[in-house]
Amino acid sequence: MLSKTEYLELDKKIAPKSKEGRTLFFAFVVGGVICMIGQGVSDLFKLVIPAADEKLLGEITSTVMIFLGAILTGFGIYDKIGKHAGAGSIVPITGFANSVVSPAMEYRSEGVVFGVMCKMFVIAGPIIVSGVASSILVGLIYWFVGVAA
């Protein structure tokens, strides 16, 4: 029989690969559409509340997009989008909502505390940890640089 190295080489050579053109295209289109919807929401609120500044508009838009991501997950639509879009639907903030809501739904059979609450952040947890950690780091740099100036 083939040796281990020969086998691993064979696997590398003939293993079916992702169709990159197709996956990149769908990721680009779906990711772009999600961002366009976000921009649309922002513009709409600008019309409704003319006094709102950029910061407030950004906050409202994120909230609406998170809501949409969560609702689509609940109705079992977001995972179907993700099947085709890949990173196009994972990277936007709607994907973050999907990664929190989907385990909450999945583990509800283990009860509210040990199921929903404990498992809600199994996927989103690392994003939150790295977000908080890097903001501390950036804050420290900013503080030292600020003091020096």
Partner 1 sequence: MNGGKQTIVFQNKPCVLAGYSIVGPKESMGPLDPYFHKRLRKDDFGQSSYEKAECKLHMSAISGAIIAAGLSPKDIDANIGGDLLNQIITSSFSARELDIPFVGMYSACSTFAQALIVGATLIDGGYIRRAACSTSSHFSTAERQYRYPLELGTQMTPTSQWTVTGAGCTVLGKYGEGSKIYLESATIGKVIDFGISDANNMGAAMAPAAAQTVIQHLEDTGRSVDYYDNIVTGDLGIYGSRLFLELLESEGIHASAKHKDCGEMIYDKKQRCPQGGSGAGCSSVVFNSYFLHQMRSGSIKRMLLIPTGALLSKLSSLQGETIPGIANAVSFCVEE
| Binding footprint of partner 1 on the chain (CB under 8 A) | 1-2, 4, 7-8, 10-11, 14-18, 23, 73, 76, 78-86, 89-90, 95, 98-99, 101-103, 105-107, 109, 123
Q: Which is nearer to partner 1, 3 or 147 (CB)?
A: 3
- From residue 94, how far is each of 25, 29, 62, 90, 119 by CA, in Å? 19, 15, 9, 7, 19
d(CA 149, CA 142): 10
Minimum distance, C-beta of residue 125 to partner 1, in the bound complex (Å): 13
Residues near 93 by Cβ (< 8 Å), separated by ≥ 6?
38, 62, 65, 66, 69
Q: Which is nearer to partner 1, 109 or 145 (CB)?
A: 109
d(CA 10, CA 31): 35
Q: Which is nearer to partner 1, 56 or 128 (CB)?
A: 128
Q: Which is nearer to partner 1, 24 or 57 (CB)?
A: 24
Minimum distance, C-beta of residue 78 to partner 1, in the bound complex (Å): 5
Q: Quote the Cα angle for 64-70-74, to 5°.
A: 140
Minimum distance, C-beta of residue 66 to partner 1, in the bound complex (Å): 15
Minimum distance, C-beta of residue 108 to partner 1, in the bound complex (Å): 9
Chain centre to alpha carbon of residue 123: 10
Q: Which is nearer to partner 1, 60 or 72 (CB)?
A: 72
Q: What are phi and psi of 115, to 5 degrees?
A: -90, -80
Minimum distance, C-beta of residue 25 to partner 1, in the bound complex (Å): 14
